[in-house]
Amino acid sequence: MNQTSHTESNMRKVALTSLAGTSIEWYDFFLYGAAAGLVFPKLFFGEASPTTALILSFLTFAAGFIARPVGGVIFGHFGDLIGRKKTLVIALMLMGISSTLIGLLPTYATIGIAAPILLTVLRFAQGIAIGGQWGGAMLLVTESAPKEKRGYYGAFAQAGAPVGVILANLAFITVGLFTNEEAFLSWGWRIPFLASFVLILISLYIQLKLEDTKAFQELESLEDKTPQDSKVVKSSPILEAIKKYPKRISLAAGAFLSVQVTFYILIAFLLAYGVETTDMDRDDLLMAVLIGCAIMVPTQFAFSSYSDRNGRKGIFMAGAALTAVWAFAIFPLMASGSFLFAVIAITIGLTFLGMMYGPQAAFFAELFSTEVRYSGASLGYQLGAIVGGSFAPIIATLLWKNYDIFWVSVYIAFASIISLISVYMLTETFQKDLND
């Protein structure tokens, strides 16, 4: 095997491993989102009214997002100091353990108020894990990829999100096929969470089989060659990133806003909304989300490859603009009660999000220099997540219940306009050398 073939083979291994790890990681994170809309209100907030229980359940869902910047700070710090691979392995282990424990958690009927408290703690741990995982997985592929294919290979890390949704929804649909409603609420919902144990095995494979990225290895080599008396004592990489790139971090967070708000409304809020307002049942809506995510995956790769040739900003801004317009079509289509129209509403929405989310790994990596790249990219990403994703289902529920579903469309459009402006204010990055 010649050197070029060996490099391509190794790159495929890195990309597929990143996809596997992020898919299972996001599977755990989104599994909670589906359960928060369908299961947890009944099992962990049983004494509250249905609407209050749903809001409380979505608040525990939000706890994962509140924790994400914490995870970004912690894992960003160590990712820039000790390497991308080690911190990614720890993040995957934390997620696998937290999700497995959720599957073993007693309900409110068994241990009372301790049940929702423990559920929130484990959800917080999930958030810390996902906050650290994205930076590690994203840099593992983008810092290893050739410059002319950085967007394409970065999409492997990004594809973990829709693939995770597919796996989570398939898990609930499959369990639902073999259990009745009583059995599903009693024990069936636990099976998908207990399956998260496989994430621990993937993390062990990464630790044993993969090397750290070339960019980080070169940074370490450069530091090793620096004379001891010439070395500068480093402050925290996260503080260095904030000091060096405050505007880029803020604009990166703004750029991510539309993706987060729209994505969690499409995959979490619409489950509760559709079941309550249409004749579609839980499995119909889970299947609609599954189809939308299945189509989102290949389109993400297409948009990411386009960004390698034509730049990140144009395709990203187009996605934000189209999402703002499509926001006003989603709920009229859902109101029809037609499964086909529900699939169209979700699929087109997710496709427009793919125009932003696919190239995002490469775009965010290119915004920051190697010594603070994990911290800077993670902080921008996770700040956007907490502002956009954490409270999106709650805000959507409050707007729907207190005003009208039309205002949820306004909410999506407003977030998309902020993203459009944020990306416009960032510089084009697609020709940058990450090893500089």
Is residue 433 situated within a structural domain? no
- CB burial of 74-83 (b: ≥16 within 10 Å; e: otherwise) equals bbbbbbbeeb
What is the pLDDT, as a whole number, of residue 381?
84
What is the pLDDT, as a whole number, of residue 3? 54
Confidence of residue 189 (pLDDT cuts 50, 70, 90): confident
User: Who has greater pLDDT, 236 or 425?
Assistant: 425
Q: What confidence score (pLDDT) does residue 259 get? A: 93
Strand boundaries in 296-397, DSSP class E: none
Which is more confident, 70 or 234? 70
260, 385 contact by CB (below 8 A): yes
CA 189 to chain centre: 22
For the chain, give the percent of residues with pLDDT over 70. Answer: 89
- Which band of pLDDT confidence, cut at 50, 70 and 90, is reported for residue 75? confident
The pLDDT value recorded for residue 232 is 45
Model confidence at 234, in pLDDT bands (50, 70, 90)?
Answer: low
- What average pLDDT does range 98-115 have in this prediction? 89
**Cβ neighbourhood burial of 236 (10 Å; 0-12, 13-18, 19+):** middle
Amino acid identity of residue 148, one-letter, is: E
Across 287-307, average pLDDT: 93
Residue 307 has pLDDT above 90, yes or no: yes
Mean of pLDDT values over 210-232: 56
Q: How confident is the model at residue 217 (pLDDT cuts 50, 70, 90)?
A: low
pLDDT of res. 226: 54
Q: How many domains does the chain have?
A: 1
Asked if residue 177 has pLDDT above 80, the reply is: yes
Query: Whole-angstrom Cα distance, residue 53 to residue 332?
Result: 26
Question: 185: number of CA atoms within 13 Å, CB side?
Answer: 13
pLDDT at 276: 86
What pLDDT was estimated at residue 227? Answer: 56
Query: What does the pLDDT read at residue 231?
Result: 46
CA distances from 282 to 34, 39, 270 (A): 10, 11, 10
Residue 16 domain-assigned (yes or no): yes
pLDDT class of 11 with cuts at 50, 70, 90: confident
The mean pLDDT of 270-288, rounded to a whole number, is: 85
In the predicted model, what is the mean pLDDT of the chain? 83
In which domain, by residue range, is 129 found? 12-212+236-425
- Would you say residue 292 lies in a domain? yes
pLDDT band at 313 (very low <50, low <70, confident <90, very high): very high
Of 12-21, 102-111, 122-131, 309-318, the one with minimum mean pLDDT is 12-21
Query: pLDDT value at position 359?
Result: 93
State yes or no: pLDDT of 53 exceeds 70. yes
Domain membership of residue 74 (yes or no) is yes
Is there a domain that residue 385 lies in? yes
Span 29-44, pLDDT tens digits? 778 877 887 788 888 8
Give the domain CATH number at 95.
1.20.1250.20
* pLDDT of the residue at 230: 44
- Give the CA diameter of the chain: 73
Angle, helices 406-425 vs 246-264, to 10°: value is: 150
- Assess if residue 386 is contained within a domain: yes
Residue range 157-169: mean pLDDT, rounded? 85
- Which stretch, 8-22, 62-76, 254-268, has highest mean pLDDT? 254-268
Q: Which region among 287-296, 319-328, 427-436 has the lowest average model confidence (pLDDT)?
A: 427-436
pLDDT value, residue 7: 61
The per-residue pLDDT for 22 is: 79
Tell me, yes or no, whether 395 lies in a domain: yes
- What pLDDT was estimated at residue 209? 66
Share of the chain above pLDDT 90, in %: 29
Can you give the pTM of this predicted structure? 0.81
Could you tell me if residue 94 is inside a domain?
Answer: yes
Highest mean pLDDT of the ranges 183-197, 284-298, 321-335: 321-335
Minimal CA–CA distance to 199: which of 98, 50, 275, 87?
Answer: 98
- pLDDT score at 310: 93
Supply the DSSP symbol for 307: H
CA separation, residue 31 to residues 59, 93, 194, 359 (Å): 15, 17, 11, 25
The DSSP letter of residue 91 is: H
pLDDT classification of 219: cutoffs 50, 70, 90: low
**Residue 207 banded pLDDT, cuts 50, 70, 90:** low
